[in-house]
Structure 1
Amino acid sequence: MEAAASAAVAAAKETALAAAAAASAASKEAAAAAAAATEAAATVKKATVKASAAALNAKEAAAVATAAGEAAAAAAANVAAATAALQASKKRKWGSVDHISRVPDAVLGSIVSLLPTKEGARTQAISRRWRPLWLSSPLNLALDRGPNSKELITKILSEHPGPARRFSVCISQNDDKIEGWLSSPALDNLEEFELTYTFWGNNKDKLCLLPLSVFRFSPTIRVATFHGSHFPNLIAQLSLKFPCLKQLALERVTISEDVLQGMLSGCPALESLELMKVFGIDRLCISSQTLKSLRFFAGWTSQGLFLHELVIEDAPCLERLLRLDPVGTKSIKKIGGATKLAILGMLSEDISELHLGSSVFQKMIAVSLTTKMHTMRVLALRSTGPNLDAVVNFLKCFPCLERLYVIFKSWEVINNVRSYDPLDPIESLELRLKNVVLKNYDGTKSSSIDFAKFFVLNAKVLKEMKITLPYHRQHRWFAKQFSLLRVRSRASQDAQIEMRCGSHEYFTHIKGTHDLSTHDPFDLPSIGCSKCKEKGLGDAVYQI
């Protein structure tokens, strides 16, 4: 009898342990089974103690054996429950609760529509429930050029019933498939459109004619991007309306002033506009009640000039005006009615005349300072010399400026020794300016040293000054520079000044046109110094 009890106890113990192990790997039901199995194991342990103490009492041992047997049976039942739970959760991730199965199909469909095209289509293989989701979700079709890409696009458009959320393709100039794709019912009610024609060089005569069928999406489109296209002049006669369009980007396209002005006048909800190397526009006048961000490339090539003159006539919501590659064109002529403008650059001497409200600058030199723009927080300048007097006048125009970027153009040597008159205070230096970034700093010239020293001596709330050289220098050279900038009478004792060697840098690839959450689009990492990298020094930074 005692042997039978021991055997029963051992069997019950093994069964309980198996139940606990199985239950810990299951879902909520399995977890409950594990708790029950643990309780059964405790009962068995107690029964074991009782059985050992009552070895001479067969009657008591038999009772204990009976209790142990019942516990073993209970444990076996719990094991069966745990096994059933495991089998029921085959679709669940091991060791976690299957929350995805509880998500409604509508929500899962929204998730699928946000996945890349191939990954979204592959969700059909997950399970029976997932199989119809991709076809019933808004289509997200975004494919670059690649093997069989055209056949894949055609196949997807023939199988998916629509509607479409996004259509983004990159095709060759002579591709004849685009017309068929654009007419597909799967693209009905399209919200995001991007068409890129592969285009090499700057020959505007080789740009592809944009199919007029693109504009069938005008009632629903929210985001539109065009690369390497020629906009036919016929568009101006269509009086197109884009009631939902919020983001428009044109890059390496030809478009007449009449066509572009007509398109912009038909965009009552436009928030961000990007014009990068747009041929055919000499002058553009912006008047928009909704535009928040404008980024454009102002320059020239052998094929012609990009946007010779820009006039901001009335843009009460405009927050950022980003001008790239400021060489060889006066571009910005007037900024008026931009009562929320907070980020501006690059300004340079290439702008022959600039009107900021009623203030007038000619080649960066202030002719009249009658308007103060209190909304300006970030300013980027490209200054020859650099010219401290010109920069200080911009500080007077923008009294609430917090971040100043200056790219040095050291072709001339300018006397930048300037005394600061406390009786004629500059509000930004007294209360606002916290960050100063100097790029292409030439520490061999007194004009550069005096320029930097002016802010060290007079910016009272300065937190950080970053100085980047356009060349490589040794540690000894930096030590000498620091001796020139390490002044006891610095205005802000807490300011950190760092200097690094690097290469010529210009703000030609800044982002943040459409992403308005980017606090400062000019706040970019340094390119670094190639020689430092060759020597394994990494990005060496020296601090004062």
Structure 2
Amino acid sequence: MERQPPPPRITMEAMLHAMASDGASAEMLNPGMDYIYGLLHSFLPCPPVSAAASFSVHSSPPGGGSEDRLSALPDAILRNVVSRLPAKDAARTSVLSSRWRPLWRSAPLVLVDAHLLQPAGGEDAPLRAGSGSGSGSVTAAVYRVLEAHRGPFRCVNLTRSSMGSHRAELALWLHLLAVKGVEEFVFVNRPWPLDFPLPATIFSLAPVKRLYLGAWRFPDTSALPRGTAFPHLLELGLCCIAMEGRDLNFLLARSPILQTLVVYLSQKDVNLRIISRSLRCVQLCVSIVHDVSVVDAPRLERLLLWDTVSVDKVRTRIKFGHAPKLRSVGYLMPGVHVLEVGNTIIKAETRASPGTIVPSVKTLALEVHFGVRNEAKMIPCFLRCFPNIETLHIKSEETDQPAGKLNHKFWKENSSIECVQSHIREMVFHEYRGERSELAFLKFILENAWVLQEMVILFVEGSLSSGDNAAAKLIKDLLSVKRAGNCRLVISESPIHRGGSRWSSQVASDLDVADPFYCCC
């Protein structure tokens, strides 16, 4: 029995169009919009300063001690101190003395509009679609700071204003930041509409090194003048952005030193051609992805896909070209993703050869519906494409439409997989449910992985507290297997709630974290 196609998935762009056509108001849509903005808020990087930080005050030494030692420090050090304060506190230092008065205006300032909301909201209050009552006052406060401070700005984090109601301020803000300079810029439009047009003057922020944009329609890059670029941009995050494939590719081409790209909750289907001499990490998250083609990326180390889907029976193509430093790949979905290596489309009958492998990859993550035969039987094909993987993550997904299972005979016929026999040292099986098809795969690994040192099996939440001795039964089944080598079995319960995740795009982008799948799942 073939797996039934999933119900059509509505893209965010189609949803917005339907809402507008039906005349829906922002007030009617608040619950859904709150959910979207909750996702968006979890994606944004934390500001480098906090208004909730506490300060330690030491008592004066015996014998008086009224001397102002802080003001005796050089201006450069005092500016450094001021630059580590929230904007409101930085401005307040000007009343300390005439010496302090000009310092805050020349210190690299951190401006976070959430800090200006207190005590009404506070910096940690979630983004909400219907909480725009204070938007005007926050917008006015942001303007006063941008106008009064001469720059540069170390970081500007603006997430609390509905720019559709402040078009003039939007243009002025971007102009002031372009003139005065900003290194890190987080800019979210709220609460409605989600696809309000972002001015093309965003490209005038030449000094920006870290840029996160949320809930905008991206400018039409085909109309931009020659020479438009982000010459200093290192990190780019696009969340809930409506943009065409050509715009995404334009950004890569015009960001010559970009190292990290994160696309999250895209309003349109993602089609990405990766051509970059600098890019090291690409993440595509919670989006409909049609095509990802790694054409020429000599420094790319990570290609990460989390909670991505395809629609209308069109499978997602993942093509691997020139990426000699690619180390971590996943989550790939056998049966849903179509792999292409060089000019070869990987099929069930494809044999491993120099033209069908990606030898640099050391960590691979697969997401599998073991109850769907046509998906599970593609696992060996995917593994053959990555002959040198040392760490394998398998995430088992539940399906309510089982379509046949693979028996032990199938796995025995596919025992000669190079990475399994000679390279995999660690395997982590996420969301184990105790299904026969899952157990058959675990036995296959134990029987054939000669250098396997550790197998970690994470049961779905609640499985080990149900009282049916699921862990003891699994241990008994696995101990009966004639193992290819000696490995340690670790059985535990997943820390993730059913259907949830703790994926962090910030952690996954941190190249100092050796295994992004272990840390984020």
Give the TM-score normalised by structure 1: 0.69
From 231, 236, 248, the equivalent of 1:260 is 248
Q: Which residue of structure 2 aligns with residue 509 of structure 1?
A: 503
Instruction: Please identify, of 116-125 and 321-330, the stretch whose mean Cα deviation from structure 2 is larger.
Output: 116-125
Matched-pair contact (CA < 8 Å) for 1:297–1:325: yes
CA RMSD of aligned residues (A): 3.4
Task: Tell me the amino acid that sits aligned with residue 428 of structure 2.
Answer: V
Report the 3-state secondary structure (helix = DSSP H, G, I; strand = E; otherwise coil) of the residue aligned with 2:439: helix
Shift of 1:280: 4.4
Matched-pair contact (CA < 8 Å) for 2:305–2:331: yes
Task: Tell me the amino acid that sits aligned with residue 294 of structure 2.
Answer: I
Question: Cα gap change, 1:234/1:269 in structure 2, threshold over 3 Å: closer, same or farther?
Answer: closer
CA distance in 2, matches of 1:124, 1:457: 71
Instruction: Please identify, of 471-480 and 332-341, the stretch whose mean Cα deviation from structure 2 is larger.
Output: 471-480
Q: Which residue of structure 1 aligns with residue 141 of structure 2?
A: 152
Superposed CA offset, 1:264-313 (max 9, x none) = 211111111112233445633221111111111364xxxxxx34212111
From 82, 89, 109, the equivalent of 2:79 is 109
Please, which runs of 5 or more residues in structure 2 have no aligned partner?
1-58, 118-133
Report the 3-state secondary structure (helix = DSSP H, G, I; strand = E; otherwise coil) of the residue aligned with 1:407: strand
Shift of 1:151: 2.8
CA distance in 1, matches of 2:461, 2:335: 21
Question: Cα gap change, 1:406/1:505 in structure 2, threshold over 3 Å: closer, same or farther?
Answer: farther
Matched-pair contact (CA < 8 Å) for 2:320–2:342: yes
From 211, 218, 226, the equivalent of 2:213 is 226
Higher radius of gyration, 1 or 2: 1
Mapping of residues 334-349 of structure 1, within 5 Å: 334-349=319-334
CA distance in 2, matches of 1:324, 1:433: 23
Report the 3-state secondary structure (helix = DSSP H, G, I; strand = E; otherwise coil) of the residue aligned with 2:164: coil
From 207, 212, 218, the equivalent of 2:195 is 207
Matched-pair contact (CA < 8 Å) for 1:415–1:447: yes
From 225, 231, 235, the equivalent of 1:238 is 225
Q: Which residue of structure 2 aligns with residue 538 of structure 1?
A: none
Shift of 1:321: 0.5
Shift of 1:357: 3.5
CA distance in 2, matches of 1:478, 1:495: 15
Matched-pair contact (CA < 8 Å) for 1:275–1:295: yes
Aligned residues: 424
Matched-pair contact (CA < 8 Å) for 1:407–1:506: no
Q: Which residue of structure 1 aligns with residue 515 of structure 2?
A: 520
Task: Tell me the amino acid that sits aligned with residue 183 of structure 1.
Answer: H
Superposed CA offset, 1:443-476 (max 9, x none) = 1x32111111222333333224122226533252
2:109 counterpart of 1:139: yes
Superposed CA offset, 1:24-60 (max 9, x none) = x987xxxxxxxxxxxxxxxxxxxxxxxxxxxxxxxxx
CA distance in 2, matches of 1:519, 1:254: 32
CA distance in 1, matches of 2:253, 2:220: 16
Question: Cα gap change, 1:165/1:477 in structure 2, threshold over 3 Å: closer, same or farther?
Answer: closer
Give the TM-score normalised by structure 2: 0.71
Mapping of residues 312-351 of structure 1, within 5 Å: 312-329=294-311, 330-351=315-336
Superposed CA offset, 1:249-274 (max 9, x none) = 21111122333333321111111111
Question: Cα gap change, 1:124/1:409 in structure 2, threshold over 3 Å: closer, same or farther?
Answer: same
Shift of 1:428: 3.4
Please, which runs of 5 or more residues in structure 1 have no aligned partner?
1-24, 28-81, 93-99, 300-305, 527-544
Which structure has greater helix proportion? 1
Question: Cα gap change, 1:314/1:180 in structure 2, threshold over 3 Å: closer, same or farther?
Answer: same
Superposed CA offset, 1:207-233 (max 9, x none) = 11112332221x222121111111232
Task: Tell me the amino acid that sits aligned with residue 407 of structure 1.
Answer: K
Q: Which residue of structure 2 aligns with residue 277 of structure 1?
A: 265
Shift of 1:399: 2.9
Shift of 1:114: 4.0
Matched-pair contact (CA < 8 Å) for 2:377–2:406: no
Q: Which residue of structure 2 aligns with residue 447 of structure 1?
A: 437
Matched-pair contact (CA < 8 Å) for 1:374–1:398: yes
Question: Cα gap change, 1:212/1:463 in structure 2, threshold over 3 Å: closer, same or farther?
Answer: same
Q: Which residue of structure 1 aligns with residue 171 of structure 2?
A: 179
Matched-pair contact (CA < 8 Å) for 1:247–1:273: yes
